[in-house]
Amino acid sequence: MRRSLAVTGSATFFALAPGTVAGLVPWLLTRWHPGAPFTHWLPVRLFGIVILLAGTAFLVQAFTRFVVEGLGTPAPTAPPTHLVVGGVYRYVRNPMYLAVTAAILGQALLLWRPVLLVYAAIATATMVAFVLAYEQPALARRFGDEYTAYRRAVPGWWPRLTPWRGDPV
């Protein structure tokens, strides 16, 4: 896949998938109106901003890896040519899903809206089910021993403290 096509595909998928899950649905649930005045529990709300920004930054970095390293997109319809194991993927196998969850939780704390905590739990359970039922088997078929070695070395949901530096094969 040409890099320009990978950029376009990744940007489109970014807007459609995480943009919907972490942006549109929280907006539909809350209209981004705070559940209490902003001064209510200010430290928690500021922590929400930090989590939201960190989640967004990690999500952008993870998507960028697919273009730069994988020469493809995260979309199942235009998968990467190479297994993506660099950047944040050296710490955890599913940084996009964790980043989306962080963005939703950050909004829940910032806006002080418990409905977003419930939504975060439902979205996370859905993403975990997708990974287990589709993504892991598809990656194992596509990348074989390379993915198996990576999967053994890098946890799926709880990040490593140090980056994985091993050769995937």
Confidence category of residue 169, pLDDT binned at 50, 70, 90: very low
Average pLDDT, integer, range 153-160: 97
Amino acid symbol at 83: L
| 93 CB-side CA count, 13 A | 20
The rounded percent of the chain whose pLDDT value lies above 70 is: 98
Task: Determine if residue 31 is left, alpha or beta; phi over 0 gives left, psi from -120 to 50 gives alpha, anything else beta.
Answer: left
Q: What is the mean pLDDT of the chain?
A: 95
- The tens digit of pLDDT for each residue in 118-130 reads 999 999 999 999 9
Least confident of 7-16, 23-32, 36-45: 36-45
Q: Is the pLDDT of residue 168 over 90?
A: no
Q: Count other C-beta atoms under 10 Å from residue 61's C-beta.
A: 15
Q: Residue 167: what pLDDT?
A: 64
Average pLDDT, integer, range 23-32: 98
- Contact at 8 Å (CB) between 92 and 86? no
Average pLDDT, integer, range 59-77: 94
- Element spanning 141, H or E: helix 136-153
Task: Give the predicted TM-score (pTM) of the model.
Answer: 0.94
Confidence category of residue 166, pLDDT binned at 50, 70, 90: confident
